Structure 1
Amino acid sequence: MSSGWDPQRYLTYADERGRPFLDLVGRVAAVEPRVVVDLGCGPGNLTSLLPDRWPAAAITGVDSSDAMIRAASDSSAAERVAFHRADLRDWLAGAPADSVDVLVSNATLQWLPEHLDLMPALVRAVAPGGWLALQVPGNHDEPSHTLRAELAAEPPYDVHTAGVAAPHAHGARTYLRALQALGCTVDAWETTYLHVLRGPDPVFTWISGTGARPTLQALPDGLRARFEEELKARLRAAYPDDGNGVVLPFRRIFVVARKG
């Protein structure tokens, strides 16, 4: 398996992954923003919706993955969105203060263990009266994550998977209080979606494109196939298909803040 993100695998459940983005941006009440930035834009399929919402804005998508930025730049979205490859932290370090009217980060910050410490930098980049909108998964205690972690900690996998990246997020209240302390008016909430997935081993397909990706990439070829089969079996037991599809409960955490 090649390293990095796989845009096509990530887009397997594009509709389900897109719903939180739409719910997040729908709570941003900006009327005519001049500058809109999507931090962690991925393959650009969701960023491409922002010009429809704010047609007069200059819109930029930023992502650290070469593969994701290539996919975004090769898509029709590139006609209306400027895509740039950059680490989110580096982008924040170089962003002028008060320069962005709407700053969006959808399903990205969970990959940065210290992301709560980035809240001051995120707010600093937003113009007075502007908006910061972020969404992170909050399902890390679900079997889709715990089964992967348990199996990865067993021999012979553990020697290869120790210390691999794993997503992590805080509760909505934690983000609300952190942003209030920075002078923002904050709307924070949680939603649990019940995604009905179909096809062979759909939960494995879902997580292999996101949360399980670093673990799978850390394993050598021979062990990876063995690991995948065992993980699929455990996931099938945890998420049975009764003939009407597999139900994947997915909790998401949303925060929309307006800078004072």
Structure 2
Amino acid sequence: MNWDADLYLQFAKERTRPSSDLISRINLLQPQRIIDLGCGPGNSTAMLRQKWLQADITGLDNSPEMIAAASKSYPSEKWVLSNIASWSAEIPFDLVFSNATLQWLPNHGKLFAHLFSQVALGGALAIQVPAHYQSPLRQVVDEVSKDPLWSDRMDRARNALTFERPRFYYDVLQPLAKYLEIWETEYYHVMDSPKAIVNWFRGTGLRPFLGSLESEQQKEKFEQMLLEGYTKAYPQQNDGRILFPFRRLFIIAYR
């Protein structure tokens, strides 16, 4: 699937805030080598640079569109086109960082243990992934995907993202880490309308569902049904806008 960097960045402020919060909690004084796995258009990598000016920082992503956008916006940084699932460091990194990416990969037990093994002694693995297990955002799209018009083509889309509970990651990383922090934060984004929520989702988790449909007409119908569901699920505030809660899981494991 191709990624649309411009669509993703329509909500750049909201998508960047969790990255900032994660970076602020990393207790490393002067990491020399940092890698940003799933760097996207480079906004999270730029925040890493703001905190650690002298570090050797690499942004890695498997999307040519995202790497092109990152290279254009931040030409002085180092960008690598590669797949996280098959990535290994030639030399361990002081900080292995990933913001809102690893949910796209399966087998988190094996994956997280592998990523932690790429951390240098005294370094850290720092990760943020969405945690909207029971949110209307997810429940409505699952319901719409089960419509008889397309349900038989939606199994892969319904399983495209990996969601595990905090206790799962604790059991994976606690035996390996010197110190482990896990927490969740629910952000309340102010949206102009239910349509804005559809646009938010179109840039990320909606992509596998739309990619499973055969025609533009089906995509339009799918989005219209989604919009109707979100209109019911997310009521308007007094000023006409919508509070859109979005929960995220944070993990920092120190080696």
**Interval of TM-score (by shorter of Structure 1 and Structure 2):** over 0.9
Helix, strand or coil at the partner of 2:87: helix
- Partner of 1:32 in structure 2? 30
What's the offset of the Cα at 1:199? Answer: 4.5
Residues in 1 aligned to 2:111 and 2:93: alpha-carbon distance in whole angstroms: 16
% same residue: 38
Residues 130-168 of structure 1 show CA distances to partners (whole Å, capped at 9, x for unaligned) of 011001111032111111111111111223323225322
Residues in 2 aligned to 1:238 and 1:204: alpha-carbon distance in whole angstroms: 12
- Cα pair 1:38 1:105 within 8 Å, conserved: yes
Residues 40-95 of structure 1 show CA distances to partners (whole Å, capped at 9, x for unaligned) of 101111211212211111100111111111111111x231x211111101213xx2
1:141 aligns with 2:139: no
Helix, strand or coil at the partner of 1:203: helix
1:125 aligns with 2:118: yes
1:237 aligns with 2:232: yes
Give the AA of the match of 2:15.
Answer: R
- Equivalenced residues, count: 252
Q: Normalising by structure 1, report the TM-score.
A: 0.92
- Cα pair 2:179 2:254 within 8 Å, conserved: yes
- Partner of 1:158 in structure 2? 151
Residues in 1 aligned to 2:230 and 2:194: alpha-carbon distance in whole angstroms: 11
- Cα pair 2:95 2:125 within 8 Å, conserved: yes
What's the offset of the Cα at 1:200? Answer: 6.0
1:83 aligns with 2:76: no
Equivalent residue in structure 2 for 1:197, among 181, 191, 194: 191
- Partner of 2:249 in structure 1? 253
Give the AA of the match of 2:145.
Answer: A
- Partner of 2:6 in structure 1? 8
1:181 aligns with 2:175: yes
- Cα pair 1:153 1:162 within 8 Å, conserved: no
Helix, strand or coil at the partner of 1:149: helix
Q: Counterparts in 2 of 1:87-102, with a 5 A limit?
A: 87-92=83-88, 95-96=89-90, 99-102=92-95
Residues in 2 aligned to 1:167 and 1:43: alpha-carbon distance in whole angstroms: 20
- Partner of 1:228 in structure 2? 223
- Cα pair 2:194 2:242 within 8 Å, conserved: no
Residues in 2 aligned to 1:194 and 1:10: alpha-carbon distance in whole angstroms: 18
Residues in 1 aligned to 2:178 and 2:131: alpha-carbon distance in whole angstroms: 22
Residues in 2 aligned to 1:49 and 1:252: alpha-carbon distance in whole angstroms: 18
What's the offset of the Cα at 1:4? Answer: 1.6
Helix, strand or coil at the partner of 1:78: coil
Q: Normalising by structure 2, report the TM-score.
A: 0.94
Query: Residues 228 and 33 (structure 1 numbering): CA distance in 2 closer, same or farther, change over 3 Å?
Result: same
